[in-house]
A and B are shown apart, each in its own frame.
Chain A
């Protein structure tokens, strides 16, 4: 019994990490109409940068924040320098993000080598918390808490600020948003920076659980893709619900049907595509 509960906590933890990854993915998709295929690379590159910052002697959380800042610069740079040149050509943009993902993956392999790098759990969170006779690992609970905090902040930003209102307008109808004087192209850069930063941050804080290895990007990208297809593009709630569903399916599938875990992950996506192509909370078919 306690084993299943523990699996539940692991599922929610993975769900939290996936949410951090797919929130940005979903916003970028909603606003720019493209699946950003470098998003998994942002996650991995962020994690590797975190490794380097930790090696320089920074504190774990500071390293995570620095990695996030660096990824914001990388993401913004990609949007301004490359994707901006191809404005309106969505397919070309997707192909550029695909090409970039190969370049980043190979660059990481070159700089950090091929061996998996485990990250130490930050001090003070290494232990476990006993709750009602079951022992939960503290760090996983901390990840859940962080994910919740970031989710609330993102929600407040989107729903309660001027910037959020502009982003929502851009997601719903970019042409109309432009007409009313919103600089949608600037929103693109902001959302790209934000998405990359959160993904990089998630990469670092996910490090102690997932460790950092070549191929982390192509492990995470399909998950973000399924989450967004499940939840619907441009919807924060959709990303949250989708992430939790995938978190649970991944962990329980891994235990119950180890060989078919990957397939089980994709089943809900197929069902959604067949019966509700706009996603659970989306308003538009991609």
Chain B
């Protein structure tokens, strides 16, 4: 019951963000958090539920970005551009999946990293297609049903709707038999094979699902910035979203969302005070992996309990033995 109340409160808070947050700058940060939350939810399908850590997801995010930007800059309408971009995202995800699912574990990490770097190289060096470092400008944000998304609040609501769809699809997926079989392939791939499941196909479909939402996030990001540059495909971008998933707690529904909020807020706060965001990112990464591998939320609870238990085990009484 309290759980439902909490969810209702969270929904209400999300819906009313532009009303109480005041400044457009903060509304835009909220939109960014939602976009990255969609991205992190997408990656979480692989990292959390399939046990496959991808370091190339910025590639899929970037393909969504670039496909939409290129089509829009080429004069296509918004609906056509979005649909074609979604097809391209699915095709790229399928290609990534076919190549990387030949292995799992560390091999998977390496191959996805290399594939991500290929796409980064394409965006950076194939100047004729992508404009290289200059990137591509997007002429306008879409206007679904004639509603303009040009200002911050309407765009926030647009993002919120997509985010809600993503969360809903994740909730359905996690509860579905398919979600259960995916977790099965994560924990016991050989037993799943012995039970007659096609492990490869399950992972392939999960990869498509994951790539789809990552690409959709990319599409949103392209609308948000109205500009794309090779930076969105960089390895640091893949690492950032992986940090969101891991820091929030992979394999949970809320973890990646919390992680996205944490990283985006930290990034904005950190860059206001210090230039060294990448150093902070790296340091947090190392600290989380070493001290709280299960994620910040469960990790802090465990650390707190441990400290509490430690304090009670060694009560402070005069003198040290």
- The interface of chain A, by Cβ under 8 A from chain B, is 33-35, 82, 85-86, 89-92, 94-96, 98-107, 110, 218, 222, 225-226, 229, 258-263, 265-266, 269-270, 273-274, 277, 285-286
Contact = CB atoms under 8 A, between A and B. Distances in A.
A95 B289 contact: yes
Contacts of B75: none
Contacts, number: 121
Given A90-B105, A274-B99, A286-B107, A96 B289 contact: yes
B126 A260 contact: yes
Interface stretch (B24-32, B80-88, B276-284): B276-284
Majority secondary structure, B binding face: helix
B285 A35 contact: no
Nearest to B284: A99
Contacts of B103: 277, 285-286
Interface string B121-136: 1101111100000000
29 contacts: A35-B106, A35-B109, A91-B53, A94-B106, A95-B285, A96-B285, A98-B282, A99-B281, A99-B282, A99-B283, A99-B289, A100-B282, A102-B282, A103-B282, A103-B283, A105-B278, A106-B277, A225-B114, A225-B117, A226-B114, A229-B110, A262-B121, A263-B126, A265-B121, A266-B114, A269-B114, A274-B102, A286-B106, A286-B110
A265 to B, nearest CB: 8
Nearest to A261: B125
A-B pairs, top 5 by smallest CB distance, nearest first, are: A262-B121, A99-B285, A102-B282, A103-B282, A106-B279
Majority secondary structure, A binding face: helix
Contacts of B109: 35, 91, 94
B118 A263 contact: yes
Contact of B290 (A33, A91, A96): A96
A102 B114 contact: no
B114 A259 contact: no
